[in-house]
Amino acid sequence: MNFVHLHVHSHYSLLEALPQIDELVYAAKKKGMFALALTDYGSMYGAIEFYKTAKKAGLKPILGLEVFVALDSRFDKRPHIDEENNHLVLLAENEIGYRNLMKISTVGHLEGFFNVPRVDKEILRQYHEGVIALSGCREGEIPKIIWKQDNLAKAKKVALEYAEIFGPNNFYLELQDHPELSGQMEINNALIKIFE
């Protein structure tokens, strides 16, 4: 099977997900997958455990995290400023990317923490090398522009900005199969239009 899950949360996504690392790896192996990513919220707490468990099971581990991107600056900590911060999935393409993900995560905790570990586009530009980005779930900047503002032109402009930050071959629009979520199919259709 060539399908690989690239947006996966474990119990290290505190208060958000339940699966333990070994359960995730076992499920992927059982379904005949050759690789699996781990992209916990704001942290890489499970990266080493995941890497070792996946390697032992014969799966290619793809290390990543889902970051919270501040609406403006990671230093801006006014009340309610980031009640709707933007999600973005980041994956390590190589060792340089892995090291950059660790830096991004650390900056989010040490400089940007305000309810959640936040980063900003300045940090993404600084540590983009070796990192592949996915536009994320409905809480990503591009899907939110589509879903809440119904502004395809603005969404495309933001997609081009992320492509400029990460490089044209390192930024992808993420389609999700969650038909039970309000607006998900409309978001997917608009993302396909942006790609065209």
Given this model, what pLDDT does residue 82 score? 67
8 Å CB contact between 20 and 10? yes
What band does 180 get if pLDDT is binned at 50, 70 and 90? Answer: confident
Asked if the structure places residue 84 within a domain, the reply is: yes
Our count of domains for the chain comes to 1
> Tens digit of pLDDT for each residue in 99-117?
999 999 999 999 999 889 9
Question: Which ranges in 15-174 belong to alpha helices (H)?
Answer: 21-30, 47-57, 95-110, 121-126, 141-144, 152-166
Given this model, what pLDDT does residue 155 score? 94
82: amino acid identity, one letter = D
pLDDT(24) > 80: yes
For residue 134, the domain's CATH number is 3.20.20.140
Average pLDDT of the chain? 93
Given this model, what pLDDT does residue 148 score? 87
Asked if the structure places residue 10 within a domain, the reply is: no
Given this model, what pLDDT does residue 188 score? 85
Asked if the structure places residue 45 within a domain, the reply is: no
Asked if the structure places residue 3 within a domain, the reply is: no
The mean pLDDT value for 153-159 works out to 95
Least confident of 20-29, 135-144, 160-169, 179-188: 179-188
> Tens digit of pLDDT for each residue in 37-96?
999 999 999 999 999 999 999 999 999 999 999 988 999 988 877 677 899 999 999 999
Asked if the structure places residue 147 within a domain, the reply is: yes
Rounded alpha-carbon distances, angstroms, from residue 3 to 29, 32, 34, 91, 135: 12, 9, 8, 16, 18
Asked if the structure places residue 165 within a domain, the reply is: yes
pLDDT(1) > 80: no
pLDDT(121) > 70: yes
pLDDT(16) > 90: no
Rounded to an integer, what distance in angstroms lies between the CA atom of residue 65 and that of residue 69? 12
Asked if the structure places residue 32 within a domain, the reply is: no
Contacts of 172 (CB under 8 A, 6+ apart): 132, 133, 134, 135
CB atoms near residue 122 (< 10 Å):
13
pTM of the model: 0.94
Rounded to an integer, what distance in angstroms lies between the CA atom of residue 185 and that of residue 183? 6
Asked if the structure places residue 36 within a domain, the reply is: no
Provide the domain limits for residue 180.
68-195
